[in-house]
A and B are shown apart, each in its own frame.
Chain A
Amino acid sequence: MTCLEILTWARGPGLALALAVGVFGVLLRIIEIQALGRKPDFATPRDVTPGSGWRTILSRSLPPPGMMKRAPLTYFGGYVFHIGLAIAVFGFAPHIELIRGLFGIRWPGLPNLVVDLATIAAIAAMVAVLAGRLADPVKRMLSGFGDWLAWALTFAPLVTGYAAFHHMTEDYTLLLAIHILSVDLLLALLPFTKLFHVVSLFVSRWYNGDIAGRKGVAA
């Protein structure tokens, strides 16, 4: 199999397969959550609080008072990584082109320099949060195989994408193929690792906001 054939597979059948597994996994896990149901709450809510769940979906993206100071690396590293990754994934013109090809939607890309800097920042933040995970006794205790796997699954596309963009090896085609294969792997495994939080946090934040909102607390 030549590098070109690998690349062709990775962005053709490979990507389709990864998307199929990913979508199946996401649906399965959402069903697994929702199938457990929730008992009705007979306590009269303090106020009529429509939207408290939705508000928490947004508000929980900000650190509560005093917390940034207690865990600066977790918050700062987390923001830089997530924002950097989002810029790299959704701001890079060829990615947008790929998404347009698949789903028919498009938006303007960001200048390459911005994407490049964001990628470097995201890579640096990932290294920093990994070091933080290894150094912090709580995080180390909570971490298992799944945590290291999730980190590697996310790190691989960033680094290979960066290397491919800068033509860091002579065989660009191979590098691009590896990049896309790493994305395929990420998409396929996302629902089965803690990366699933990208979907489930909307559900958990909503429940949290709803439970607190009924009691008159903006959570």
Chain B
Amino acid sequence: MSASFERGINSFKEVLDAPIASFFSSCVHCGLCAESCLFYTETGDPKYAPIRKLEPLRRTWFQEYTLLGKLAKAVGLSKPVTDAELEEWAPLVYDSCTMCGRCSMVCPVGNDLTYAIRKMREGMAAAGHAPEGLITATSRAITSGSPAGVKWATVQAQIKRMEKQFSMTIPVNQPDVDYLVLMSSWEILNYPEYLGAVGRIFKQAGATWTLSEHAYEATNSGIQIGVSDLARELVGRIVKAAEDLRVKCVISPECGHAYTAIRWEGPNLMGRPFGFEVKHILEVLDELRSAGRIRLKGTIDKPLTYHDPCQISRRGGVYEQPRKFLKALAPNFREMSDTGTMNWCCGGGGGVGANERAEPLKIVAFKRKKSQIEELGVDTMVTACANCRVTIEEALEHYHMDVEMLGLTELVADHLEESAS
């Protein structure tokens, strides 16, 4: 893949579609997108206004696909996009946007700016302006199967650990089962308890499931960086494993962008609907509980709140399921001021977490979440995305905040009727 400015502009032209054209046509420069974006609210720097992040893409559209723009370009009233400009824009497109989608919920003319940023990244990457951290993560994902370089041997080690800890057998490469379980690098490395939790829950539910040594990693940095070819390659591995094993459903783990990648973008990357279902683990847990296949016991009485991972809630539609569990398990569950589909991002999604250049900005952006937590006065926060969890845990450390983070799947597993003490 050789990057060049020309390829970048061609990619811009290719990704521009009717929705984006309508968004650019409708913008009235009201600035409300900035007010909805944590990178603006926490820095006060106008350059982080979401619509501005799209300026090179907007000008490409104006000059290439509108009569007025063509005329303006011909007489020199609209300057062509330059490579230097794309370079200047890279930190805006990659470092100060987590594709959280909050601006898309707020824009009064209905612009889905996140949709456009996702597409714009295709051109930015093609022009060679993707951040180093994301390029490395994507290359590792292609060569080793995981953006963090996690090999199957590492997964095997964690499988053994969980099998020993919970006295269970974790099935691998089992065909004709209900579920193919995927994990994110963070879960494999930092939170292997997720795997143990899934095993315990499925045991009670009597669900058949498996891991696949050919497709264990759910995260897709090809989507975060904006290279559809690579994203397709990564999704393709999961699709092949799911089809080879003839599973009924692929479960996206507690990882927001992984869910977007496999559930919403996956079929479009492959150019066809899948022959199996794709669900987020919270959806599966909710279904099992509704069907009476898992039973809960006991409660956590301390006050706690739930951080909605953007890609699971706002961009994924899974916001009722976690609340059903929390209402059942935590009598002192409290909602943050902006919550559900209007929740504020942790600041580390959309590849920002893998982008070292963005690190200082990410910490500043976290001040939004910090004030939400402080306003509520809780010291326990549950979430359902390992990337959110890592971002938040790091930032809590930075700000010397004593708040415990919990994964919802583990919380459910810890309160299964059988395992409750």
A interacts with B: yes
**A residues at B contact (CB < 8 Å):** 28-29, 32-39, 41-44, 46, 56-57, 60-61, 63-67, 70-71, 74, 78, 133, 136-143, 147, 192, 194, 196-197, 200-201, 203-209, 211-212, 215-219
Ordered by A's residue number, 19 sampled pairs between the chains whose C-beta atoms are within 8 Å are: A44-B273, A56-B110, A57-B110, A61-B108, A64-B36, A64-B342, A138-B31, A141-B49, A194-B28, A196-B26, A203-B22, A204-B110, A204-B111, A204-B112, A208-B104, A211-B19, A211-B115, A215-B316, A217-B317
Cα distance A65–B339 in the bound complex, in angstroms: 10
Other-chain contact of A207, B108, B110, B272, B274 (Cβ < 8 Å): B110
Please, which residues of chain A bring their CB within 8 A of the CB of B107? 60, 208
**B residues at A contact (CB < 8 Å):** 16-23, 25-32, 34-36, 40-41, 44, 46-47, 49, 51-52, 65-68, 104-112, 115, 263-268, 270-274, 277, 314-318, 337-338, 341-342
In addition to A208-B104, A212-B112, 6 A-B residue pairs with Cβ atoms within 8 Å of each other are A38-B17, A64-B106, A74-B32, A141-B52, A200-B26, A216-B316
Other-chain contact of A66, B25, B52, B337 (Cβ < 8 Å): B337
Other-chain contact of B108, A32, A33, A60, A142 (Cβ < 8 Å): A60
Least CB distance from A52 to B in Å reads 11
Cα distance A136–B30 in the bound complex, in angstroms: 10
Please, which residues of chain B bring their CB within 8 A of the CB of A42? 267-268, 270-273
From B269, which residue of chain A is reached at the shortest CB distance? A42
Cα distance A80–B17 in the bound complex, in angstroms: 34
Interchain CB contact under 8 A, B25 and A197: yes
Please judge, given known A-B contacts A42-B272, A141-B47, A207-B19, whether A65 and B338 are in contact too, CB under 8 Å: yes
Cα distance A139–B49 in the bound complex, in angstroms: 9
Cα distance A169–B421 in the bound complex, in angstroms: 88
Interchain CB contact under 8 A, A41 and B268: yes
The secondary-structure label for the interface of chain B is: helix
Interchain CB contact under 8 A, A138 and B27: no
Interchain CB contact under 8 A, A200 and B25: yes
Cα distance A196–B25 in the bound complex, in angstroms: 7
From A195, which residue of chain B is reached at the shortest CB distance? B28
Least CB distance from A61 to B in Å reads 8
Interchain CB contact under 8 A, A201 and B18: no
Other-chain contact of B18, A38, A70, A216 (Cβ < 8 Å): A38
Please, which residues of chain A bring their CB within 8 A of the CB of B23? 204, 207
Please judge, given known A-B contacts A67-B35, A215-B317, whether A203 and B26 are in contact too, CB under 8 Å: yes
Interchain CB contact under 8 A, A194 and B65: no
Interchain CB contact under 8 A, A208 and B112: yes
Interchain CB contact under 8 A, A194 and B27: yes
Please, which residues of chain B bring their CB within 8 A of the CB of A137? 44, 46
Interchain CB contact under 8 A, B110 and A60: yes
Cα distance A218–B12 in the bound complex, in angstroms: 29
Please, which residues of chain A bring their CB within 8 A of the CB of B28? 194, 197
